[in-house]
A and B are shown apart, each in its own frame.
Chain A
Amino acid sequence: MDLSFEWIIKIIETNWPMFLRGAGVTLLIALIGTIFGALIGLLAGIIRTIPIPERGAKRGFLKFINIILSIYIEFFRGTPMIVQAMVIFYGSAAAFGWQMNPIIAGVVIVAINTGAYMAEIVRGGIISVDAGQYEAAQAIGMNHVQTMTHVVMPQVIRNILPATGNQFIINIKDTAVLSVISVTELFFQTKTVAGNNFRYFEAFFIVCIIYFILTYAVTLILRYFERKLDGPDNYTVVGSHAQMDAGEHKGIGQ
């Protein structure tokens, strides 16, 4: 019974419900955290790229909001998530007497953290949309909100999709740090399993594989969505004798 392989089988056989539950909690926190984080990031990124008017009350207000957003982004990007988890979980208990549900606390921490990163990703995505796209929308008579919703943001969302997927994968792995506030995610469960059996290598080897399966599955799903969003590479030319006419049209005016 000392062979690792046999232990791995045994641990899986007896503890699979714990791994499954842990994986479920990890995915739940990572998914909801990433979605809310992306929404926070979208909002923050959009606000930070609103052109600041030259004068008026709106200018002061916008500048104030921008400063607040900068502080938020720099602070949460500049401190480890494991420390933020401790500060928020124990801080809210000490200051307000809240006994936060660890899973909810975990989602909040992941969302706030992701939001700080996503804000910069979104800002970069907005800046990288060609100025000509704004100009064409403005020239057609669209206002700033219409320009953003119908022209710029759809392109931004497509462009930030790979970075968002990246963030989701990072979150699946980083939820492991939430074990410090007793969130019963995958890493926490594994520690328990390992402790119960006094078999650390085997338990963590199993969880290593589980983490990889989770992240790789997410990668594949995101790739599929990206391809869906890009649409087919071909297009159909409408009308009869389509191919011939398409050729003719390229030749107009020659």
Chain B
Amino acid sequence: METVIDIQRLSKSFGNHEVLKDIHFSVNKGEVVCIIGSSGSGKSTLLRCVNLLEKPSGGKIIYNGENILDDKHDIHAYRRRLGMVFQQFNLFNNHNVLGNCVVGQMKVLKRSREEAEKVALKYLKVVGMDRFVNAKPRQLSGGQKQRVAIARALSMEPDVLLFDEPTSALDPEMVGEVLKVMKELAETGLTMLIVTHEMEFAKEVSDRVVFMDKGVIAEEGSPDQIFNHPTGERTREFLKRTLREI
């Protein structure tokens, strides 16, 4: 299987607090990987390190055979190959729905407005928001905003799509509409790396599940392995706690 991103010995500290320790981890083409773990385990930090919103303190991130943490590497060129969906949606407040999906394509990918709008509409249709092109972010519900955010990321046609707890800021009745879109995307063979608290969802869509605990990857394997036959003591404890809550 072709590796898209290969992370080696990655570490991250905030001051003297070591959030990530010696992380080895890779994402293969077409794979859906879910990162689970309790709050503060470092899973969001890991995701943010992958697209360099946080600067790793040490280690390597290999993409297309090159270490993108080299000083000379063009960060912006790398980032445009990754899509990111945030917990808080972060739609551009000064653009309407269409503008959100178009501005990156035009300014970063240098596509013409005509082409950008065509691509944007295609992906807005995928998430079921194509009829809301004129709406401003403040006029949308949380679930609608998140679906637009997914369309915005898809419009850049990235190699990998990163999700940072995409449903954590949503009202319970809106979680379903976002997860449904994500499930459909997973089935199209898109490479996805998802930090989530939705265990049922992780079980269902992942090819691989990564369990993080205290800044390290404590266990990694197929969903069946992690959810039904966990080997680690901490994995078992975590699953007992979270699955009971559901």
A residues lining the B interface (CB < 8 Å): 130, 132-133, 135-143, 146, 150-151, 154-155, 158, 231, 233, 235-239, 242, 245-246, 249-254
Collect the chain A residues with CB atoms within 8 Å of residue B153's CB.
Answer: 140
Verify B53–A138 contact, CB threshold 8 A: yes
B84 touches A139 (CB 8 A): yes
**Most A CB within 10 A of own CB, among B104, B144, B156:** B104
Residues of B within 8 A of A (CB): 51, 53, 76-77, 79-84, 86, 88-94, 96, 103-104, 107-108, 128-136, 139, 141, 143-144, 149, 152-153, 156, 173, 176-180
Give the CA-CA distance A187 to B130 in the complex, in Å. 58
Question: B46 to chain A: closest CB distance in Å?
Answer: 15
Closest partner residue, chain A, to B78 (CB atom): A141
Chain A residues closer than 8 Å to B132, beta-carbon distance: 235, 237-238, 246, 249
Q: Please judge, given known A-B contacts A139-B84, A150-B107, A238-B130, whether A155 and B90 are in contact too, CB under 8 Å.
A: no
CA distance A25 to B187 in the complex (A): 69
Contact between chains at A140 and B108 (CB < 8 Å): yes
In contact, A140 and B156 (Cβ under 8 angstroms): yes
Least Cβ distance of A154 to chain B in Å?
A: 4
Contact, CB under 8 Å: B131 / A231: no
Indicate which residue in A132, A239, A242, A252 contacts B177 across the interface (CB closer than 8 Å): A252
Query: Please, which residue of chain A has its CB at the minimum distance from the CB of B132?
Result: A237
Residues of B within 8 A of A246 (CB): 131-132
B90–A132 touching, CB < 8 Å = yes
User: Is A141 touching B139 in the complex (CB atoms < 8 A)?
Assistant: no
Closest to A131 in B: B90
Which B residues are CB-close (under 8 A) to A237? 131-132
Apart from A135-B90, A142-B108, A151-B92: 7 A-B pairs, beta carbons within 8 A: A133-B90, A140-B80, A141-B76, A141-B81, A233-B139, A238-B134, A246-B131
Which of A146, A235, A242 has the largest number of chain B CB atoms within 10 A?
A235
Enumerate chain B residues within 8 angstroms of A249, measured Cβ to Cβ.
128-129, 131-132, 144
CB distance from B177 to the nearest CB of A (A): 4
Q: Is the CB of A136 within 8 A of B92?
A: yes
The answer to whether B131 touches A139, judged by C-beta atoms less than 8 angstroms apart, is no
Within the complex, the shortest CB–CB distance from A236 to chain B, in Å, comes to 6
CB-based contact B176/A140 at 8 Å:
no
Interchain CA distance A252-B178 in the complex, whole Å: 9
CA distance A142 to B93 in the complex (A): 16
Per the bound structure, the CA–CA distance linking A132 and B53 in Å amounts to: 11
Complex Cα distance A242/B130, Å?
12
Residue from B81, B108, B133, B144 in contact with A146 in the complex, judged by beta carbons closer than 8 Å: B108
B131→A245 contact, CB < 8 A: yes
Residue of A140, A150, A236, A238 with highest tally of chain B CB at under 10 A: A140
